[in-house]
Structure 1
């Protein structure tokens, strides 16, 4: 599948892709992520790699949404390191219906699209 076939056209999806990439670049992290909840709010995060706490950017972004009272997710964007099975499981814990996970390289080019049903 080529990027042209999977590239998002929704401005809200483009927004979370930009936020994920920006979070990664700002912190010089290996991964950035952004989620949009079912209320339309967005949360952007980067990987946490401390001696006593290690979380992927996806895990941090979902935790931010949960701690803000998000009832579910609409979409997720991940830049840099691809989401792991654990990342997708965390998204599934809070997902709404038809959640799409946009995966991009460090430049923001879509490399994959995962639809969670």
Structure 2
């Protein structure tokens, strides 16, 4: 599914996730949208003492800002699936929040 076929707010999440990934050169970029429409983005964190997927980092940024619910999330990655810990973090806040997985080209491959 191309960004032209997505809801404009979901397409924005993909764009933000792509920018986070590109800016840092990380393996993944992610963005989440809270229930007030604010967005939070992050890239993979790979430090010797701290390992977070981009989705975990984006959820952590949202939670540290006081968010208690998410509308949607997006991950941009070459991986075939969104990692389970990131999905769990999203669903800890909102069980029904969709998580889009797009390739580096921005084309959505799956939604969970």
User: Which residue in 2 is equivalent to 1:42?
Assistant: 39
* Superposition deviation, residue 94 in structure 1: 1.1
Q: What's the TM-score, normalizing by structure 1?
A: 0.87
Residue from 13, 31, 38 that aligns with 1:16:
13
Gapped regions of structure 1 (runs ≥ 5) = none
What TM-score does the superposition give when structure 2 sets the normalisation length? 0.91
Listed one character per residue, the Cα deviations across residues 41-80 of structure 1 (whole Å, up to 9, x for unaligned) are 0001000000100100000000000010112000000001
Q: Do structure 1's residue 75 and structure 2's residue 46 form an aligned pair? A: no
SS class of match (1:59): helix
How many positions carry a matched residue from both structures? 109
Tell me how large the CA RMSD over aligned residues is.
Answer: 1.5
More strand by share: 1
Q: Which residue of 1 aligns with 2:56?
A: 59
Distance 2:41 2:58 in 1: 6
Q: Which runs of 4+ in 1 moved over 4 A?
A: none
